[in-house]
Amino acid sequence: MKFLITTLLLMLTLSCEGQSSKLDSTDIYLVTFKSDDIGDIRFYLKINTNSNGKIYGGSLQNKYKENFNFLDRLKINWFSGIKDKRLIFLDGSYNNQGEFKTAFYSPLGNYYFKGKFHNNSIEGNVTTSKGVKKGTITGSLLTKDKLSQIADYQKISEKFFIAFEGNFFNPVFLKKSKYQNFKDKVLKYSTKSIDDLHYVFSIFYYLRSLPHSHIAIWRDIENEEEILEENLNEISYAFEDGLGILDINSFSYEKKTIDQIFDEIFKNDPEGLIIDLRNNPGGSIGPAIELSKFLVNSETSGGYFLSKSFYEAEKKSYDSCFVFSEGDLNLFMDAIEENECIEVKVFPGDRIFNKPIYIVVNESTASTCEPIAYALKKQNNIFLVGERTAGKMLSTKKVKLIDNFYLFVPNANYVTTESESIDQKGVAPEILIDDDEKTLKKVKELIMK
């Protein structure tokens, strides 16, 4: 669920293509960028080539201006690094075989696009400077000169707000000026978008004004099952220098995985355990509870999820909260739909690791990680170290709109046992270490003292 403008612009960047079969030409392609971070985005890619093997171009010039008022355009131009009056600007070269490589410039980062032209089509991969693949881009050459709006963005926007207002957890917020201004701008400007790129970019830009995380628009999750399957193994364990190091990149693993890892941990009997949650975007609450069962010595509350019906109730109380202590994401979402309030509780398992535990977090530790980090740091033998977490902690519901667009909307707020919301705030570590590269070394020194 990873829905950042950075990713969006990254995908946009992918659009850079040059045409090798023509000299001094200008062509427009209708392309689709597929990314696990942002979904599928369709947009027009304008490619200029010359006889010296030079390629430049990108998204359509000046089209982003139709999505914003004068003040917002000034902010985007001033702070976002717009080049050549495009959201995405490309600059590179091609050869006689139709192979090309370009740099992609976007407001939130620079990337590379490497691919090939073939039979009036374009395809290739978008990568970081280190060669990490961020997605694929494919498209076909347009034969018509006139460009039309790819989708009915006005209708999509209308569906967006119907779904948002029907599912957002706090009805009071919907009456506030901040939300109304957001809604007015989206309906007025973003519906003028020529393609998905400009539409989605404008939505993410306007979302920055809202004081809540976990709101996003997403298009066409065609390979959702494959994506989830790939994430199941995002956990690893190593035994080094008498210490156990448990690296969890996502709470997407199966219960049997964490059971097997703790079999190994108890077999090794390390002097201490490091649980690395840096750059972990979250996942399902179920796997996080399963982990915690090995770490707590007594019944532990992980805080409360408050649904829309809780905020609509005349009398608000945590006393009658439904207790959620195990289950997958589907069961958790069903519980939110059926109850005003859910209390996440962890009950100790048969085997408890009682030696020193250091949970390592940074500013990209988000969502499911945060209530777990908050609750576990209250244990006498568990210490939270690193940087303050991301502050992105709400329950999110996926709602289908039209034309394969989906809305992710927060359907429940999260508060700690002290009734404190950590969304937009994060969880502060007990031991601050702001140098990510040296964090593990310093933690190992703390354990071995």
Q: What is the 3-state secondary structure (H, E, C) of 204-233?
A: HHHHCCCCCCCCEEEECCCCHHHHHHHHCC
**Total Cβ atoms within 10 A of residue 327:** 15
Number of domains making up the chain: 1
CB 406 within 8 A of CB 398: yes
Kindly state the DSSP code that residue 368 receives in the 8-state scheme.
Answer: T
Q: At what angle do helices 285-292 and 369-376 cross, to 10 degrees?
A: 20
pLDDT digits (tens, 9 = 90+) for 305-355: 999 999 999 888 998 899 999 998 899 999 999 999 999 999 999 999 999
| Separation of alpha carbons 163 and 408, rounded Å | 9
What per-residue confidence (pLDDT) applies to 221? 54
Asked, for residue 342, whether it belongs to a domain, the answer is yes
Give the residues across from 125 on adjacent strands: 114, 136
Report the pLDDT value the prediction gives residue 222, as an integer from 0 to 100: 59
Helices and strands counted in the chain (H then E) = 12, 20
**Domain housing 288:** 226-448
Question: Is 116 within the bounds of a domain?
Answer: no
314 lies in a domain? yes
Burial (CB < 10 A; 0-12, 13-18, 19+), residue 183, is middle
Instruction: Supply the pLDDT for residue 228.
Output: 37
Looking up residue 301, the CATH number of its domain turns out to be 3.90.226.10
Give the pLDDT confidence score for residue 178 in this predicted structure: 96
Q: Is the residue at 152 inside a domain? A: no
Torsion sign across C-alpha atoms 372, 416, 424, 163: positive
pLDDT at position 12 = 40
Is position 354 within any domain? yes
- pLDDT score recorded for residue 51: 86
User: The pTM is what?
Assistant: 0.85
Q: How far apart are CA 181 and CA 207, in angstroms?
A: 11
CA 385 to chain centre: 23
Flag whether 395 is in a domain: yes
- Would you say residue 294 lies in a domain? yes
Residues of the chain short of pLDDT 70, as ranges, are 1-24, 108, 221-233
The conformation of residue 321, written as its DSSP 8-state character, comes to P
Q: Specify if 218 maps to a domain.
A: no
